Structure 1
Amino acid sequence: MAEKKVTFIIEGMHCGHCASAIAEGLKKLKGVKGADVLFTTGKAKVSYDPDSVKVDDMTKTIKSLGYEVKGIKE
């Protein structure tokens, strides 16, 4: 299946380190092709293979790092 993109609206990021931690956590998931996370916008834009990883898996990863997902735009 073709690569898809999703944007997460995240609460709790305060600095570049927060954004880096989320990006690295997402990139460790099999099927995540890229993650662009900016604390200034509070958003994570992720490209992924929907056959390998689900949006719910990415949401759980973000939450496990201590951040809240306030919205998802597919």
Structure 2
Amino acid sequence: MAMIRKTFVVEGMHCGACAVSTGMLLQTPAGVRSARADFDAKTAEVEYDDGAIDLAAMNRTLEGLGYRLKEGA
């Protein structure tokens, strides 16, 4: 139940607009304080409450657009 800032690899981003969409979508679930995606690095930095949301829930938020987060950035 602590705020964590973590960088994830983002699969499925093909352009700068994808990065904007990814960042905006990741900010919508409860438990996410901030999110920013970087198209050039193919990553997203997310600050979130690990007691309120997990990686699987963040991926469910993105799956409709074909994006997926994975650890290892």
User: Shorter-chain TM-score category?
Assistant: 0.7 to 0.9
Aligned positions of 1:1-74 closer than 5 A: 1-69=1-69, 71-73=70-72
> What amino acid maps onto 1:72 in structure 2?
E
Gaps of 5+ in 1: none
- Listed as ranges, the gaps of 5+ residues in structure 2 are none
* Pairwise CA RMSD: 1.8
Structure 2 CA distance, aligned partners of 1:73 and 1:22?
Answer: 18
SS of equivalent to 1:53: coil
Shift of 1:67: 1.7
Cα deviation code 1:3-52 (max 9, x no counterpart):
01222211221222101111111100001011010111000110001122
Q: Distance in 2 between matches of 1:52 and 1:68?
A: 19
TM-score w.r.t. the length of structure 1 is: 0.82
% identical aligned pairs: 36
Q: TM-score under structure 2 normalisation?
A: 0.82
Paired residues in the alignment total 73
| Stretches of 4+ aligned residues off by more than 6 angstroms | none
